[in-house]
Amino acid sequence: MDLDAVRTFVAAADAGQFQDAAAALSITQQAVSKRIAALEKDLEVRLFTRTARGARLTIDGQAFLPHARELLRVEARADASVRPGRRALRVDVHSRRTAPAVLLQDFHRAHPRIELDVVTLDADVQAATAAVEAGTIDATFHAVTVPAHQLPGAIRTARVIDEHHEILVGPRHALANARAVTPAQLAEHRIWMPGMAPGTEWAAYYDELAVAFGLTIDRVGPVFGNEVLLAEIADSAELATLAGERTRYLWPDSYDLRRIPVRDPAPIYPMSLIWRDDNPHPALSELRDHLSSRRVGTPDEKVWMPKWAQHADPTS
């Protein structure tokens, strides 16, 4: 069904005059007549009866009018669901458990009037950046591993998260009662991170971390989900895994899992917000300002970051 014709029909019904409907739609009266005639032909009914005072709805026209209004409301909702500036701000996070999701929830609490659509593309930085460039999403959070001049021309980035690490162990693990551990101490223990995809920015990060401190990061094993990972660690005296300090995990009290900060130096996983500089969505700048104001530095702490993080992305 031609929605322009439906829109013209509603305007004519409201105005009671084809001439007034034409003025409201900024088209000619002849165009109004042609659209109404085409709609009547499509529906195979008469919608208006011409009178000395203008145009009066027929019984069929009266029956069709509420449905025509609903068609236009659906059209408006459909348009708003995808059009930047009208739809919700669409932001990608790799996982709803990690620091970006936590910060987006904080943003939503601070700006409840802003509609927010949190999606999970389950993509690496290249694929997520391509989605930003294409306009599929407004922004994404990832570690940026290349200098700015190697990114697509319209893409902009700003480092907004410096995520500290914690080691996650069960109650029988040798480090279970430690208040903090060093990377050197971790070199003596197996760190289990099954299913880490090679070639991703997080795999590059953990490869460099392992080389820097002589860590054994075991990626072997099928991935059955976080619940199974936590159960295995809780039941083991040897297994441990690394997690961001703001990563949200839930487990039964009986597991008695321990989250222990890694310090001296503290490994930092740097994450950036990635967006298009010509994105017109009005809420994007508010998100950027919010993230910038919430960023916490560690000037007095000894930290470690991969070499690519030191040149890949500004900290603005």
Ranking 62-71, 84-93, 133-142, 277-286 by mean pLDDT, the lowest is: 84-93
Please tell me which residue, 81 or 127, carries the higher pLDDT value.
Answer: 127
Average pLDDT over residues 156-161: 94
Q: What is the DSSP string of 126-170?
A: HHHHHHHHHTSSSEEEE---S-GGGS-TTEEEEEEEEEEEEEEE-
pLDDT of 272 over the 90 cut: yes
Mean pLDDT computed over every residue of the chain: 90
**Cα→Cα distances 27→13, 15, 35, 55, Å:** 16, 14, 11, 17
Is 0.85 topped by the overall pTM?
no
Tally of residues, the chain: 316
Strands (E), the chain: 48-51, 54-57, 89-92, 116-119, 139-142, 155-169, 190-192, 216-218, 240-244, 258-261, 266-276, 303-304
> pLDDT value at position 283?
93
Please tell me which residue, 63 or 149, carries the higher pLDDT value.
Answer: 63
Ranking 19-23, 173-177, 190-194, 299-303 by mean pLDDT, the lowest is: 299-303
Tokens of 183: 């990377």
pLDDT of 232 over the 70 cut: yes
Tokens of 23: 């003025």
pLDDT of 300 over the 80 cut: no
Nearest to 138 by CA among 312, 285, 270: 285
pLDDT interval class at 223 (50, 70, 90): confident
Please tell me which residue, 175 or 50, carries the higher pLDDT value.
Answer: 175
For residue 91, list its beta bridge partners: 118, 139
> pLDDT value at position 221?
77
pLDDT of 312 over the 80 cut: no
> pLDDT value at position 127?
92
Q: Which residue has the tokens 């040798």?
A: 174
Q: pLDDT tens-digit profile of 57-105?
A: 999 999 999 999 999 888 877 876 676 656 789 999 999 999 999 999 9
Tokens of 34: 């042609």
Please, what's the b/e burial string for 93-128 (b: 16 or more CB within 10 A of its CB; e: otherwise)? bbeebbbbbbbbeebeeeeeeeebebeeeebbbeeb
> pLDDT value at position 168?
97
